[in-house]
Amino acid sequence: MANFLRIALKEIELEREYMKDVLRCFLHTIIFNRTLGAVTPREMEIDALDLTYVRVDVRDHTRSDLDRAVDLAIDQLCRIFDAQLSVSAVITLTFSTKEESRGWFYSKEEIKVFEQWLIPVRRKPDAYDETEKADRRATLTSAVRDRMLFILYRVNLRKDHLPPVPLPPADPTYNYSLSTHLSSDPTIRDFIH
């Protein structure tokens, strides 16, 4: 049994053309809401779906480690779908802290996970005609909005599992890791629905 909060979004069906934008939206929204201290928000738009979300603004013009980690996880998921290894997969976003424990003759760093988000994705075949594309776009916009509301509800529902924030925060975010799994992976299969 895990000693951390695990939150699973409802599976979302995505066509390839929307996959990166929608997953960036979900991941950056969660990360923004788990950012420590004062940060500058940056509004992002998904023009094709007429949606806006907020993410942490990167101060310099180079890509941040955060952007690289998010893009790497999304690219891994896209490669799974492009290679037709599976029609469904999950991106996992895990937040943790590092704690140092010391004894007489040792010192070790231990990673303590306190929250994990599961974002299940099913690859949807691309639409063929303009009418079908418009219908699917409207359905997807509604589905993304529903999941965004769920994310915002869940990040504010419970905070008792969050570790204390150091004053002042040394790092703007908790430690995080991103991974991609096939939906058949037994370590996550029971938590998605």
SS3 31: helix
Task: Look at 11-20, 97-106, 130-139 and tell me which has the smallest mean pLDDT.
Answer: 97-106
CA pseudo-torsion sign 90, 96, 100, 103: negative
Strands 88-102 and 5-8: unpaired
Q: 142 falls in which pLDDT band (50, 70, 90)? A: very high
Q: What pLDDT score was predicted for residue 3?
A: 84
Average pLDDT over every residue of 2-15: 92
| pTM score over 0.75 | yes
Q: Are 52 and 78 in contact (CB under 8 A)?
A: no
Q: How far apart are CA 147 and CA 149, in angstroms?
A: 5
Burial (0-12, 13-18, 19+ Cβ within 10 Å), 47: exposed
Q: How many CA atoms lie within 13 A of 155 on its CB side?
A: 17
